[in-house]
Amino acid sequence: MPKDKQSQMPSLQDLLAGRGDMDEESRRKLEALLRTLSLQEDDSKNKKDMESHRFWRTQPVLKYDEVSDEIGAIEPSVPVDQVKQTPESLPNDFEWCELDMRDEQDAKELYDFLTKNYVEDDGGQFRFDYSFEFLRWALQPPGWRKDWLVGVRVTSTRRLVAFISAIPVHLRTMDKVTLMTEINFLNVHKRLRSKRLAPVMIREITRRSHLQGIFQAVYTAGAVLPKPVSTCQYFHRSLNPKKLVECGFSRVPHNSTMARMIKNYKVPEKPALEGFRVMEAKDVPEVRALLNKFLARYQFAPEFESDEEIVHWILPHEKVVWSYVVEDPTTHKITDMVSFYSLPSTVIGNPKHSTLNAAYLFYYATDKGLPEQKGGELDEQAQATFGNRLNEVMADALVMARKQDFDVFNALHLMDNHTFLSTQKFGSGDGFLNFYVYNWRCPEVQQEKIGLVML
């Protein structure tokens, strides 16, 4: 989930649009330079000392200068009956509430609140506009709980002014699988910012996780906090360059024209892989086996423990998630899968466009080139087969995204995305997403070894 997304927001400069016509070498050099500059900037942010974090310095997280080669809890778990039974105190005039996403009115209220107050890019040009259907889907996976969808209301008016959510996830760090909560959608009303309400929200969701016997959490943010396990850059693939330019998301490079951009980003009418089709319910067990085997390649990845989870997260869900499989025409085995989700952004103050339709790459897998043994390394030949195949699968995913009228296709530089980002004409964006774990000591993870995609 690209967020706090301020800097994670696939935002202002689709810089690569400005590099579309460069020769490959200049392009690589410019990318390397930009990467170095942004890493330096990131580094200086990281040097922010712990003392300045009034809240985070009190929490069980690694300090900026701490490195761990061990994996395990920072603080021990406590018996559930010793967990504080009463909610955190809120300032006078505010009260806790729970949002029931089965209830039309609660879901609509949360949608309205996030649409007006959630993550914006640094320039205030775009704001995430997670749809009503999306929020219902994202917040009710198997194992969801109403008491993990926590809001704050103004007592007198009942107005919703803050929110935070948790859902369960089995996260594998290296070879250790732990049941954690995945924290998302932390939001405080614009008018109530900088009043230390966020730490209260975080403490309350922590208490509610503890009440269920869960003492670890995973979350992502654009904000730099102590201490990222990994940091991944955003990449963007234009599908509708004209609209992206009109929205201020991309620019026409000085040595190019709109007509050339349109030609450059045109995708075929139809997918090319034989057997490429929409995923169906009958594919669920095979997709689960394929995806879990594929995710074993990474050091920080979810495990899908049941078919029910695949039904929820991966099976197509109208207006929310699109998923495709490749069925081998001879054996009828599912050899590949790819999915993406819809996360539009409001275009703020643009006379022509109000919404940017963005697709985000979700989970994918292939068995081409993968060794039989789970998590096994690829030799050189297998690596080539694997890279070619991922390119073919992604090219078809782009075709389908364009057909669904998405303007841009976003992806992070995680998993094996490096094999196709530049070939499929993705350009690096100015956003970064930090991955964090709470109360979990673990070594840093390279971005290519992250296998978790958060919404």
Ligand X SMILES: CCCCCCCCCCCCCC(=O)SCCNC(=O)CCNC(=O)[C@H](O)C(C)(C)COP(=O)(O)OP(=O)(O)OC[C@H]1O[C@@H](n2cnc3c(N)ncnc32)[C@H](O)[C@@H]1OP(=O)(O)O
Q: Which residues bind ligand X (CB under 6 A)?
A: 3-5, 53-56, 118-119, 181, 183-188, 193-199, 202, 205-206, 209, 214-217, 219, 221, 223, 225, 438-439
Reply yes or no on whether 455 is catalytic. Answer: yes
Identify the sign of the CA torsion 164, 168, 173, 176: positive
| 45 contacts: CB under 8 Å, gap ≥ 6 | 224
Torsion angle, CA of 432/437/441/444, rounded to 10 degrees?
-20
> Hunting for tokens 């990281």 — which residue is that?
46
Question: How many CB atoms are closer than 10 A to CB 228?
Answer: 22
Query: How many other CB atoms are there within 10 angstroms of residue 315's CB atom?
Result: 18
Q: Give start and end residues of each alpha helix (H) in 296-340.
A: 307-313
Dist CA 200 CA 163 (whole Å) = 11
**Contacts for 130 with CB less than 8 Å, ≥ 6 apart:** 111, 114, 115, 118, 138, 185, 343, 455
Q: How far apart are CA 207 and CA 279, in angstroms?
A: 39
Shortest CB 114 distance to ligand X, Å = 8
The residue written with tokens 């985000």 in the block is: 360
Please tell me the distance from the alpha carbon of residue 69 to that of residue 87, in angstroms, as a whole number.
Answer: 35
Distance CA 196, CA 22 (A): 47
Residue 51: DSSP 8-state: G
Nearest to 452 by CA among 397, 409, 415: 415
Active-site annotation, residues: 455
